[in-house]
Structure 1
Amino acid sequence: MKTTMLLGSAALLALGLVSCNDPAKNTAKADVKDAVAKSDTGAAGGTKYTFTPNSKIDFIGAKVTASHPGGFKTFNGYFTVKDGAPVGNDHKVTIDMSSTWADGGNEEGSAKLTGHLKSPDFFDVAKFPQSTFDVTELKKNSDTSYTVSGNFTLHGVTKNISFPATVSKNGEAVKITSEFNIKRQDFGITYPGMADNAIKDQVVIKLDLEAKPGA
């Protein structure tokens, strides 16, 4: 009886570890399609708002035994805003992939993990130094809720992705936040990890972008 209980506890613990290390489980799945031609809705009479230093682009990657937060230290971009809300499809983000960082648990582990992510196994930064997201459509669902679609180029592969986003305004600043997941293999990032510690395909993307006119 005791052995059965121990085995049951071990199984529950294993399931718990798997669950805890699946950060994509509670996020929206981005709709991924082939890249699309951008229609000319342009600025739609809006004003260009550029990103402030308060903006963040982060991610969470996971393997069977652990999850690791990371992000990008250097990027730029802008929204086109009219009457305090984004309009049209003239919105773009450009990321310097060499600014990738990742938390490996300590200084040595973080340096090793960051270096591996920059290597040909993952982002291959030497070959693909930039990643871009160019909005193709902005659908307003409510005063604060939008569906954002755009051509996302990562690792030399371009796909059109759609995801939910929230828009807020504070004074002259407009902020767009979102949390969703994509499949890295959709973008040709196929490194499997070790047999007993496989890397999950889903990666969580976290956007917290603040822009101001002429920031």
Structure 2
Amino acid sequence: MKNLKTIAIALFVAAASISVNAQTKKIDVKASTIKWVGKKVTGEHSGTVNFKDGAVVFKGKKLTGGSFTVDMTSLTSTDLTGEYQGKLNGHLKADDFFGTDKFPTAKLVFKTIGAKSTDVYTVTADLTIKGITKPVTFDITVAGNTATTAFKVDRTKYDIKYNSGNFFQNLGDKTINDDFELTVALKF
């Protein structure tokens, strides 16, 4: 019985020291930004989408984790105004794009993190859009209470095939690139 108590105390102390070393920092969803760019044969559109919540995890000064939820209903174009902005926003939220009525959030969860250089990490994460989860890999730079990254996402992997030249023939100047670009700035 005495040995069992000693083992239990040792495990408790070990678990406590591990949790003390890891520090979870919630992101400031108002100050953190996601900007997107979608390109097509005849030009491009750009805009923003907001975080719902998120956090990064550090062990000392080393990035060791992260998880983020994006409010897809906040998706908006910033390169258009008025009626044209409303039409594009409506189409992006419709089922042939992000289907925000059925899928109001997207999620990104860090899976592996490797140090690339001082304050720069290579992250492989699970990205879930429209209920479909696929891996994405990107570099992220951490400086103080901020982190930044930019990467591309292949929309067709998430069943967003509208006007994709890889799925439809003879689209001509109606073709939309499969990749869209994200630029993310986190404040925590």
> Under TM normalisation by the shorter chain, which class is it?
0.7 to 0.9
Which of 112, 126, 133 in structure 2 is aligned with 1:158?
Answer: 133
Matched with 1:81 is: 58
- Structure with the largest fraction of strand: 2
Does the 8 Å CA contact 2:109/2:125 hold for their aligned counterparts? yes
Whether 1:101 and 2:76 are equivalent positions in the alignment is: yes
Q: Identity over aligned residues, as a percent?
A: 29
TM-score (norm. length: structure 1): 0.71
Q: Distance between the aligned counterparts of 1:104 and 1:131, measured in 2?
A: 23
Matched with 2:49 is: 72
Alignment-mate amino acid for residue 110 of structure 1: Q
Q: Distance between the aligned counterparts of 2:140 and 2:50, measured in 1?
A: 21
Aligned-residue offset at 1:74: 4.1
Aligned-residue offset at 1:45: 2.5
Whether 1:49 and 2:25 are equivalent positions in the alignment is: yes
What is the DSSP-based 3-state SS (H/G/I as helix, E as strand, rest coil) of the residue aligned with 2:136?
strand
Q: Distance between the aligned counterparts of 1:203 and 1:43, measured in 2?
A: 37
Distance 1:154 1:55, change over 3 A: same
TM-score (norm. length: structure 2): 0.80
Q: CA RMSD in A?
A: 1.9
What is the DSSP-based 3-state SS (H/G/I as helix, E as strand, rest coil) of the residue aligned with 1:78?
strand
Matched with 2:107 is: 132
5+ long unaligned stretches in structure 1: 1-41
Whether 1:192 and 2:143 are equivalent positions in the alignment is: no
Aligned-residue offset at 1:155: 1.6
Which of 132, 149, 158 in structure 1 is aligned with 2:124?
Answer: 149
Q: Distance between the aligned counterparts of 2:124 and 2:151, measured in 1?
A: 13
Does the 8 Å CA contact 1:64/1:197 hold for their aligned counterparts? yes
How far does the alpha carbon of each residue in 1:179-202 deviate from its partner, in whole angstroms, 9 at most, with x for none? 111211111100007543211111
Greater gyration radius: 2
What is the DSSP-based 3-state SS (H/G/I as helix, E as strand, rest coil) of the residue aligned with 1:138?
strand
Aligned-residue offset at 1:124: 0.5
Alignment-mate amino acid for residue 98 of structure 1: T
What is the DSSP-based 3-state SS (H/G/I as helix, E as strand, rest coil) of the residue aligned with 1:127?
coil
Matched with 2:39 is: 62
Alignment-mate amino acid for residue 101 of structure 2: A
Count, aligned residues: 164
Does the 8 Å CA contact 2:23/2:57 hold for their aligned counterparts? yes
